[in-house]
Every structure is written in C-alpha cells, then in structure tokens.
C-alpha cells in the first residue's frame, strides 16, 4: 500500500494538469454572461468526484446555480466528514493588470513560491483548494484506507452570497447530517508555519444612493445653490469614522466581544512582521482603529469600507456638471455576536438620519452573514493540528481570519456541526485580485494533509 507522500509524488503532474483544466472554465457567478461556464464547471466537478471513486454523485438543482453533492458511505456507525467548497470564482477584472490571462493557467515561479505557482482566477479561491479534497479522497479510495464516511457539497454561488446553498441546507438537514464539516477556503500563515482558522468575520453589504435634483445640472448656473450629491455622499461617508477610526454608527459596537489581555497576548504570538507587511504592499504606514494592532484590526475588530463609489463625469477632459445622483457600495465586516441584519438596520437608520434636507437617500441591503468562532479543544481541531504537525513538522497556530464565509454559521445552526477551516492559501496569493495564484507546494501539501485529518478524526472520535 502506498503512503500519501509517495502517491502524491507519483501522481503530482496529473493532479496539476487536472486542476489546470478546471481553471480554464470561467465560472464567474457574479456575471450572467458566464452562466454556461458556471454550469459546465459543476459538471466537471461531478465527473471528477465520480472518477475519484465516489459512489453517489448528483447535481442538485436550486433556484440558482447547482450544487454538486457526493456521498460515499462505508459504514453507518463510522463518523461522517462533510466537505464543503465552491466552484465559482470572482470576476477577473481589471484584465489589463494580469501578467497572463486569468483563464489560461500557467505555472510561474515567485519569491514565495520557488517551486512554482499556478496563476489563474480561482486557483486558490477556491477551485485549487476544493480540488485538493477530491484528490485526497481519490488517494484514500485507491489505497483502500478511507477510514469513515464522506459527503461532498460543492456550490457555485459562494462569491455572490450563497443564497441557493442556504435554501438547499434548510431543506436537506437529514441528507447533510455529519460529525464535522471540513473546508479549505481560507489561508495559513506561511509555507513554514501552518495555521488553522478559528474565526471568520461576518458581513453586511449595502449600496447607497444620494439624489438631489431630477437631472444633471450646469455647475455654474446651479453650483452653490443646490446640494451636490457627490459632495454630500463624501461628507456622509467621511462622518462614518471618527478621528480614532472608530465607526460612528450608534450601537454599532454594542455586541462586539472585547478580547481579554491574555487572548490578545496569545494572538500576538503568531509570527508577523510589520516592516515586511508594509514592504509587500508598498505602504509608508498602516492605518486603522486606534488602540489595536494590524493583526487585530484585520480579524477581531469590525470595519466599514467603501468598496466602490461613482457618479458624475469621469470621462476624458472636463465637463462642468453637478450630477443628479451619487452612489457607493459599502461593506461592514463584523465580528461574532454582531448580528448582520441588526447592523444593516442600524446602518440604514443612521445613514438616512445624517442626510441633509437637500438630498434624498436610499439604502439598499445586498447580502450578509454572521461571523464564526470555533473552539480549539474539539476533536476536529485536534485532528487537524495532528495532521499539520505531521506534514509540516510544526504544530499549527490558531488564527482568526478577517475574511467571511457566511455559510459556516448557517451550517452550525442548521446542521448542528462544527466546521474545521484547513486553509492552504497565503494572503499574498492575490485572491479576488489580478494574478491570483496557488503554490504547487501548497496544493500538494494540502492533498497530503487532508487524509491525515480523516485518520486522526476517526481515531480521536473512538
């Protein structure tokens, strides 16, 4: 019988080539122009699970994009691992900033990935990380050492809010019942220092619209006499933070959990170099909420950020005009105990209340979700830590991430199961950005580590 290290060595070229094929399909869920490709990707994922030896694989139709569901039950008395991932990807724009086309994957060496990384949209988030699970499963089947039952649930709408998945989970609690949920859709500290994500932030995403006159106006004839929606919007947005970068929305911090001095000291132990951080991003200085360091600002503290702002004339040259309307898209990252729907309401109420009488304001909620924290004393956490310790030679460090996977909190509510976030990406892999990539080292290490999670999860469950 092959061990996993040997199996990966023997099959790594095929593993890489299969992922490259999957990455060629532009499964952009946000843009309807790609809907055929999104559906084609779900078919490709289904085929890959079948080929890996999964007994039952089905495409589950939803009001939106389909969910690929797989099931391999070997013994009802053994534990069941539910693997979740997503086959959809973020839009690739701006295209001109890619050094190679986003859906023509190529392997390039980088300083952080000397053994090469696959450059393509979705390579890290999340096709590459999802596919590690398919290959780890293939190994366990081929070598007859799958120690428990497995269910796969791979969705196609994660990047747009997982609406159909919520619909699916609420209707299929029995089908999805499991002992632990395993997800690789986060990151780790570095290729030398693995980490396990123990927290995710929640999210509230809103769009705002500020209107003054019923048409665009000559900025000489009307300027100074009517409200300029862009000026007003900027002023309103600026007022949402005070001089300490605290968010000014009343009651916004009501349920925010303050970490103890001990917890913060524990967090500070994770390796982090501020100089390297600034250098990598070409920053003169970092910026954020007073009283917190960078690693706290981007994980345990809530935020409010404008993601996009538009209005008026942005074409070539100059046009003297006061736009009738101005818009912005705003995201708030939330921490556990902050309820996203309450926060959305608080935002709406506050934003409307600060509008001067010369304008009309509309707040349109987009989507959101709750944050998540998971304990480090569970069987799942311990199994993951043992697996990492074996493949990396050092134990994993628990890290609370700033990103969001809103469906994780819903899994806990609907399926009553804890999630283990075993991510193998790096922050520098440029997910959601041009030149997204995933290290070959990370991809293969993931495939090596996952079967050990299964092994230890079953051992520790006995």
> Considering only CA atoms, which of 135, 18, 27, 236 is closest in space to residue 444?
135
Contact, 160 vs 74, CB < 8 A? no
Provide the minimum distance between the beta carbon of 395 and ligand BES in the complex, in angstroms, as a whole number: 20
Per rule CB under 5 A, is residue 429 in the interface with Mn ion? no
203 binds ligand BES (CB under 6 A): yes
CA distance from start to end of the chain: 24
Told to check if 429 binds ligand BES by CB under 6 A, we report no
- The residue (of 149 and 197) whose beta carbon lies closer to Mn ion is 197
Residue 398 found at the interface with ligand BES (CB under 6 A)? no
- As a dihedral over the C-alpha atoms of residue 436, residue 440, residue 446, residue 447, rounded to 10 degrees, the angle is 130
Near Mn ion in 101-160, by CB under 5 A: 125-126
| Residue 406 binds ligand BES (CB under 6 A) | yes
| DSSP string for 379-398 | HHHHHHHHHHHHHHSS--EE
Find the binder of ligand BES among 26, 302, 403, 451 (CB under 6 A).
Answer: 403
Distances in Å between the Cα of 175 and the Cα atoms of 45, 61, 69 are 20, 15, 10
**Nearest-approach distance from CB 234 to Mn ion, in angstroms:** 29
Query: For 178-334, where are the E strands, in sequence order?
Result: 180-183, 195-200, 202-211, 217-218, 303-311, 321-322, 325-334
Q: Does 187 bind ligand BES (CB under 6 A)?
A: yes
Is residue 161 near ligand BES by the rule CB under 6 A?
yes
Assess 155 for contact with ligand BES (CB under 6 A): no
Alpha helices in 292-378 (DSSP H): 294-297, 340-353
- Figure out which of the listed residues 80, 404, 419, 442 binds ligand BES, where binding follows CB under 6 A: 404
185 sits near Mn ion (criterion: CB under 5 A): yes
Q: Are strands 303-311 and 325-334 parallel, antiparallel or unpaired?
A: antiparallel
Measured torsion, CA atoms of residues 316, 317, 321, 327, in degrees rounded to the nearest 10: 40
Alpha-carbon distance 169 to 164, whole Å?
9
Pairwise CA distance, residues 339 & 87, whole Å: 28
Q: Which stretch binds ligand BES (CB under 6 A): 105-113, 147-155, 173-181, 398-406?
A: 398-406
- From the CB of 199, what's the least distance to ligand BES, in Å? 10
- Closer residue to ligand BES in complex, CB, 131/456: 131
Q: How far is the CB of 297 from Mn ion (least distance, A)?
A: 20
Cβ nearer to ligand BES, comparing 26 with 187:
187
Task: Show contacts with ligand BES in window 86-145 (CB under 6 A).
Answer: 125-126
Binding mask 61-90 for Mn ion (x = CB under 5 A): ------------------------------
Q: Does residue 28 belong to the site contacting ligand BES (CB under 6 A)?
A: no
Residue-wise DSSP of 144-170: T---SEEEEEEES-GGGT-HHHHHHHH
Q: Which stretch binds ligand BES (CB under 6 A): 18-26, 112-120, 249-257, 404-412?
A: 404-412
Binding site for Mn ion (CB under 5 A): 125-126, 185
């Amino acid at each position: 019988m092959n061990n996993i290290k040997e199996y990966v060595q023997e099959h790594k070229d095929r593993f890489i080539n299969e992922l490259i094929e999957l990455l060629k399909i532009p499964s952009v869920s946000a843009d309807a122009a790609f809907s055929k490709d999104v559906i084609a990707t779900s078919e490709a994922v289904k085929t890959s699970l079948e080929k890996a030896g999964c007994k039952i694989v089905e495409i589950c139709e939803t009001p939106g994009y389909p969910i690929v569901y797989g099931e391999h039950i070997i013994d009802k008395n053994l534990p069941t691992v539910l693997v979740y991932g997503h086959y959809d990807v973020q839009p690739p724009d701006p295209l001109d900033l890619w050094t190679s086309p986003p859906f023509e994957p190529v392997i390039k060496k980088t300083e952080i990935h000397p053994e090469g990384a696959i450059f393509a949209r979705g390579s890290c988030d999340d096709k590459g990380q999802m596919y590690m699970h398919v290959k780890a499963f293939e190994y366990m089947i081929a070598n007859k050492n799958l120690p428990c039952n497995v269910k796969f649930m791979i969705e196609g709408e994660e990047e747009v809010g997982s609406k159909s998945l919520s619909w699916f989970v609420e209707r299929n609690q029995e089908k999805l019942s499991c002992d632990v949920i395993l997800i690789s859709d986060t990151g780790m500290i570095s290729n030398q220092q693995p980490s396990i994500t123990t927290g995710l932030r929640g999210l509230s995403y809103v769009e705002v619209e500020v209107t003054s006159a019923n048409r665009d106006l000559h900025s000489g004839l009307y300027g100074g006499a009517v409200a300029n929606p862009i000026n007003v919007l900027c002023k309103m947005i600026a007022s949402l933070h005070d001089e300490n970068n605290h968010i000014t929305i009343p009651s916004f911090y009501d349920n925010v959990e303050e970490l103890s001095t001990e917890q913060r000291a524990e967090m500070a132990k994770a390796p982090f170099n501020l100089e390297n951080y600034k250098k990598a991003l070409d920053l003169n200085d970092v910026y954020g909420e007073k009283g917190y360091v960078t690693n706290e600002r981007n994980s345990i503290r809530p935020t409010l950020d404008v993601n996009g702002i538009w209005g008026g004339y942005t074409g070539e040259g100059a046009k003297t005009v006061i736009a009738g309307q101005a818009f912005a898209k705003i995201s708030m990252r939330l921490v556990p105990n902050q309820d996203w729907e309450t926060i959305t309401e608080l935002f709406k109420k506050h934003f409307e209340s600060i509008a001067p009488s010369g304008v009309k304001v509309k707040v349109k909620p987009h989507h959101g979700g709750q944050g998540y924290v998971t304990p480090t004393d569970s069987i799942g956490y311990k199994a993951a830590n043992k697996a990492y310790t074996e493949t990396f030679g050092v134990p994993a460090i628990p890290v609370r991430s700033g990103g969001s996977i809103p469906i994780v909190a819903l899994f806990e509510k609907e399926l009553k199961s804890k999630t283990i976030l075993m991510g193998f990406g790096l922050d520098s892999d440029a997910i959601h950005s041009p030149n997204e990539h995933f290290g070959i080292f990370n991809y293969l290490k993931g495939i090596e580590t996952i079967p050990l999670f299964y092994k230890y999860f079953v051992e520790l469950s006995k």
